[in-house]
Amino acid sequence: MSESATGVADLDAIADVAARVARVLPAPLVPLFHPGFTRSHLLFDEYVARLAIQVCARAKLEPVLSVWGAVEDVVARAALEPRRSAVAVGWMLRHLAARGLLVAEDGPGGPRFRAARPLPALDPGPVLDEQRRHDPACLPSYTLAETAAREYPAFLRGERSGEEILFAPARLPLWTGYFSNDNPLYAVNNRVGAIALEAWLPAGEIRILELGGGLGSGAAAALERLAAAGGASTVRAYRFTELVPAFLRRAQRHLLDRLAGVTDLSFATLDMNRPFGEQGVGEASVAVVYAVNTLHVAHDLAFTLAEVRRVLEPGGRLVVSECVRPVAGQTIYPEFVFNLLETFRAPRLEPGWRPNGGFLTPGQWTAALETAGFADVRVLPDIARVREVFPTFYAAALGATRPA
Ligand SMILES: C[S@@+](CC[C@H](N)C(=O)[O-])C[C@H]1O[C@@H](n2cnc3c(N)ncnc32)[C@H](O)[C@@H]1O
């Protein structure tokens, strides 16, 4: 594969990879994963790895890696705040080890890491420049990751929480740019979700409840696709919910401008960590619960799935679009930013299917859904097959049915 100065393959070489991915994807997904998108994905992967190297240097992790150490040892030697840092530092060490930049071995209490040679001084700037030339629509992802990288040392030292860093009011524009159908690197989750929703929608007149709808880009993609598809289902009501009032207000403005055709579009706050009934969603009252990149931040996923099951009509469907971890232990780039957030990195763990915070594997999702009493669990696409040709593919939808 021919590569540019950033080490990322050029468009012609990527066409071959994209063609191999296309052969293992269901037909409706193929247009999403075109060579241009694939190149942006690989560029951003490289950008985040370079940011992680910079964070290791700025947080003084690199010198303490001259001898073997488990994550806790590395955190302690670098005098970082242990409770907050363990997940993020563990992620960076595993991410860099997966790229051959650190060495890792199994230790008694988990993996141990060492820098066999100095980390390369790779400048993220040229990757950003290449993305700007290739497809500037992806730049909001770069801005968000660069902001996180800049703030990481203060976070790791315990001086600022991730919530303070990422949700300061002045940072709202970061999110409006990032959670957008104009940002291809995020929009792919909305489009995979919309395709799954269309494919798995029960027939007839239906009511949909969306959880954690954020700024509304997932809802817009879904409702636009359903309207264009026609089909055997009619969306009679769409209840958009979100935890953060500022996100909800913006989503409401955005969606009402675009989706006046949906008969009953309503907006409300809903915290998926609290009983849905006391927040106005009755038992067996909706045909579909939909969520894009939200359920993995449920504090107690078993509780939230039980609430979802309760509000679904018998035979009703849960459809979620999620970043999934291709295999247990693998690191994927969205975690670099979201590991800053306690809700992301530290949910309640469950033996068997929730061994860590952050994203779940398709197998862990299947176990979580089946344990919660759902049937007919589906995953789109078959991540295990896609991974054989593209190891960092992480966009997937999951579906499950409340038994009748
Ligand atoms: C990845 S974002 C979803 C973005 C959305 N799909 C969009 O297009 O803007 C996850 C959302 O979950 C919300 N969230 C976090 N905790 C929540 C909770 N306990 N209940 C409901 N929503 C929550 C966040 O505020 C955020 O908007």
Question: How is the chain split into domains, by residue range?
Answer: 11-160, 184-401
Q: Which of 243, 278, 342, 359 to mutate to test the pocket of ligand 1 (most atoms within 8 A of CB)?
A: 243
Helix (H) or strand (E) holding 323: strand 312-323
Distance of CA 169 to the CA centre of its chain: 22
**For 211-266, what is each residue's pLDDT tens digit?**
999 999 999 999 999 888 876 668 889 999 999 999 999 999 999 888 766 668 99
Choose one of 190, 249, 278, 294 to mutate for the ligand 1 pocket test, by most ligand atoms within 8 angstroms of C-beta.
294
Sheet holding 312-323, edge to edge: 264-269, 233-242, 204-211, 286-292, 312-323, 395-401, 375-380
Nearest CA residue ID for atom 4, ligand 1: 214
Global pTM reads 0.95
| Residue 63 alpha carbon to ligand 1 centre in Å | 38
Q: β-strands 110-114, 286-292: how paired? A: unpaired
Q: 283 CA to middle of ligand 1, Å? A: 22
Residue nearest to atom 13 of ligand 1 (CA): 212
What's phi and psi for 353, nearest 5 deg? -125, -5
**CA distance between the termini of the chain:** 51
Domain 184-401 has CATH 3.40.50.150: yes
SS3 168: coil
Local structure of residue 3 (DSSP, 8 states): B
Q: Is the CB–ligand 1 distance for residue 177 below 6 Å? A: no
Query: Which of the residues in the chain have pLDDT under 50?
Result: 1-2
Question: Contact, 163 vs 341, CB < 8 A?
Answer: yes
Distance CA 207, CA 358 (A): 29
Q: What is the pLDDT of residues 39-62, one digit of tens each?
A: 999 999 999 999 999 999 999 999
Ligand 1 atom at minimal distance to the Cα of residue 293: 1
Ligand 1 contact via 276 beta carbon (within 6 Å): no
Can you point out the beta strands (E) in 168-277? 204-211, 233-242, 264-269
Q: Can you read off the two tokens belonging to residue 357?
A: 């915070």
pLDDT tens by residue, 310-336: 999 999 999 999 999 999 999 999 999
Question: Mean pLDDT over all residues of the chain?
Answer: 94
Which DSSP symbol is given to 165?
A: H
Give the per-residue pLDDT at 230: 75
DSSP state of 8: P
pLDDT at 1: 44
CA distance 70 to 308: 39
User: Which uninterrupted H or E stretch holds 290?
Assistant: strand 286-292
In angstroms, rounded to a whole number, what is the distance separating the alpha carbons of residues 345 and 323? 14
